[in-house]
Amino acid sequence: MTKDHHHDPIDWREHGVKVIPGNSLDPNTAQTPGMDRATAINHARAGAEKIWAGTVIIHANAKTGAHHHGDLESIIYVVKGKARMRWGDHLEFTAEAGPGDFIYVPPYVPHQEINAIRDETLECVVVRSGQEPVVVNLDIEPVEKPEGVLWIDPIHR
């Protein structure tokens, strides 16, 4: 009698939890000028099917070019430093985030990350809703004075 594949025990050692050491991230991913991206979790490295995770370091007093990530959602967690986000067709909106803050970037939103501190690197963890390293670098003429936007919890107004 042949063994039904569904009743084979799963090799959890091979297909279970994976720990990826912070010193072994892969910088071989799509890049945007002004930042260094490195992959921690993807299909090739950890077997992930639906998400991508990695780190982003933005150099002191640097900013990225305007870009978007196609239909992917992104979550940015600020570990160290201060992030100034600009977004919109002319990067006309702005908000800041510091250590412990989460930033959500919806699909197709033109945005730019700025290191708001002149002499300290900005270190972030990024999680995306897909495997494709989609980075569409944009040529945008930014407005000079962006409008500040404060986040208000839509559930707990």
Residue pLDDT, tens place only, 26-49: 888 777 777 888 999 999 888 999
pLDDT reading at 13 higher than 70: yes
118-131, pLDDT tens digit by residue? 899 999 999 999 98
Residues 62, 95, 103, 97, Cα dihedral to 10°: 70
Q: Which two tokens stand for residue 113?
A: 């990350």
Contacts of 20 (CB under 8 A, 6+ apart): 40, 41, 45, 46
> How far apart are alpha carbons 33 and 104 in whole angstroms?
21
Percent of the chain with pLDDT over 90: 51
Give 135 or 157, the one with higher predicted confidence: 135
**Per-residue confidence at 8, pLDDT binned at 50, 70, 90?**
confident
Contact in structure between 147 and 92 (CB atoms under 8 Å):
yes
Q: How confident is the model at residue 55 (pLDDT cuts 50, 70, 90)?
A: very high
Instruction: Please give the domain boundaries of the chain with CATH numbers for all domains.
Output: 37-148 (2.60.120.10)
153 pLDDT above the threshold of 70: no
Q: What is the pLDDT of residue 39?
A: 92
Mean pLDDT of 83-87: 95
pTM, two decimal places: 0.81
- pLDDT of 3 higher than 90: no
Please state, rounded to an integer, the average pLDDT across all residues of the chain. Answer: 87
Distance CA 114, CA 96 (A): 9
